[in-house]
Amino acid sequence: MLSEVSIEVRNGENWVSWSYPPTLMAALREPTRWARLDLEVLGRLGTYTALALYEICARYRDNPSGLTSRKPVAWWADALSNAPANGERREWRKFKSERVKDAIDEINRETEIEIELIEHKQGRAVEEVQFAVRKKRQAPRELPHEPIDVDLVRRAGYLHIREIKLDGLIQEFGDQAVRSCLDHIERRAANAALKPIDNAYSYLRTLLRNGGVEPAPDTTDTAPSIESDLTSPRTPAQKAAQQAAQSQSELEARQAKLGERIAQLRSEIQALDPVRRKAFVDKAITLMTERGLFTPVIRRRAEQGDPLHGPLGAMVVRCYAESTYGTNWENLA
């Protein structure tokens, strides 16, 4: 640890002096706070801003002052954003509204600490920011005693939704609601005409918080009755509403059939030999690149050996189906 040691004689006395390396001296003069982070807690956070803010604030959970360091708003904007700083930062007021507030709510809800934003103004403008940090009094949340439905875990894995996040949604909304929304997301991901879903977990959580997905109406009982005659539409508006409901029912039935068909095709692809399966994956990547859909997130997942999940998986299924069964593959049983 010592870079230099010397012994000198001063006024008949022996003096020993030593020097530390420059990096070690800098660490001693301005020590960096650190804290042990729980991976389970990190797994509950769904945004980059929430993760970055939690990692910073967690270092101060045992600080007697209960306050983080006070930094300029530009420093916080760079620290809480995954975009490189290029001199053109988002205005703090807008950045706070778009990212920081949601991150604070998520940290207070999902972790063992509670944080509060403190702004320091110079006149009417916010110049510096810090956070108050305190530990929660309640005990940490326990994992459920009952196992999760394995089928739900598998289907969520195809959409890159981790089991720990799926567990939280099931506890909050129930198995049936989560299953219905997963059905909807799978049908949507299989539709090449629609824009790919970048974050399936956020989309699923939004669906559940907005009341879930309406189940398809039960149309198995088609026998005429006196009651149906009495309630038959009598005005153009009623006829339009009935036609819309019927069209929605038919659409839900077609989507359910398509979902079963896609699951069957996915099983066939998994049974192929690796060389032939890779040919379909390469073709899907080429098509998505040409259309500008092969995003860095999808590329990273593909490089990790996960080509049958998410938007890329939907394109692989489509390439395989059209090559094997033709363009009418959706209508084949």
Is residue 79 over pLDDT 80?
yes
Domain that holds residue 284: 269-331
- The verdict on residue 277 lying in a domain is yes
How far from the centroid of its chain's Cα atoms is residue 28's Cα?
Answer: 39
Domain boundary residue among 106, 135, 164? Answer: 135
Q: Are residues 170 and 129 in the same domain?
A: no
Digit-coded pLDDT (tens) for 264-309: 888 888 888 888 888 888 888 888 888 777 777 778 777 877 777 7
Q: What is the 3-state secondary structure (H, E, C) of the chain?
A: CCCEEEEEEECCEEEEEEECCHHHHHHHHCCCCCCCCCHHHHHCCCCHHHHHHHHHHHCCCCCCCCECCCEEHHHHHHHCCCCCCCCCCCCHHHHHHHHHHHHHHHHHHHCCEEEEEEEEEECCEEEEEEEEEEECCCCCCCCCCCCCCHHHHHHHHHCCCCHHHHHHHHHHHCHHHHHHHHHHHHHHHHCCCCCCCCCHHHHHHHHHHCCCCCCCCCCCCCCCCHHHHHCCCCCHHHHHHHHHHHHHHHHHHHHHHHHHHHHHHHHHHHHCCHHHHHHHHHHHHHHHHHCCCCCHHHHHHHHCCCCCCHHHHHHHHHHHHHHHHCCCHHHCC
Digit-coded pLDDT (tens) for 173-183: 888 888 888 88
Domain boundary residue among 78, 111, 135? Answer: 135
Task: Tell me, yes or no, if the pTM score tops 0.75.
Answer: no
Is residue 115 over pLDDT 80?
yes
Digit-coded pLDDT (tens) for 185-233: 888 887 777 778 878 888 888 888 877 665 544 444 444 444 444 445 5
- The verdict on residue 204 lying in a domain is yes
- The verdict on residue 215 lying in a domain is no
Digit-coded pLDDT (tens) for 3-60: 788 888 888 888 988 887 887 777 666 655 555 667 777 788 888 899 889 988 888 8
Mean pLDDT for the chain overall: 78
Q: Are residues 82 and 131 in the same domain?
A: yes
Higher-confidence position of 249 and 174: 174
Q: Are residues 116 and 179 in the same domain?
A: no
Q: What is the pLDDT of residue 239?
A: 65
Q: What is the pLDDT of residue 40?
A: 77
| Alpha carbon distance 1, 159 (integer Å) | 50
Q: What is the pLDDT of residue 241?
A: 62
Q: What is the pLDDT of residue 238?
A: 59
- The verdict on residue 80 lying in a domain is yes
Residue 57 sits in a domain whose CATH number is 1.10.10.10
- The verdict on residue 121 lying in a domain is yes
Q: Are residues 27 and 43 in the same domain?
A: no
Please tell me the total count of domains within the chain. Answer: 4
Q: Are residues 61 and 116 in the same domain?
A: yes
Domain boundary residue among 187, 209, 231? Answer: 209
Q: Are residues 120 and 104 in the same domain?
A: yes
- The verdict on residue 230 lying in a domain is no
- The verdict on residue 130 lying in a domain is yes
Q: What is the pLDDT of residue 37?
A: 67
Terminal Cα-to-Cα distance of the chain (whole angstroms): 72
Q: Are residues 130 and 52 in the same domain?
A: yes
- The verdict on residue 216 lying in a domain is no
Higher-confidence position of 150 and 252: 150
Q: Are residues 26 and 86 in the same domain?
A: no
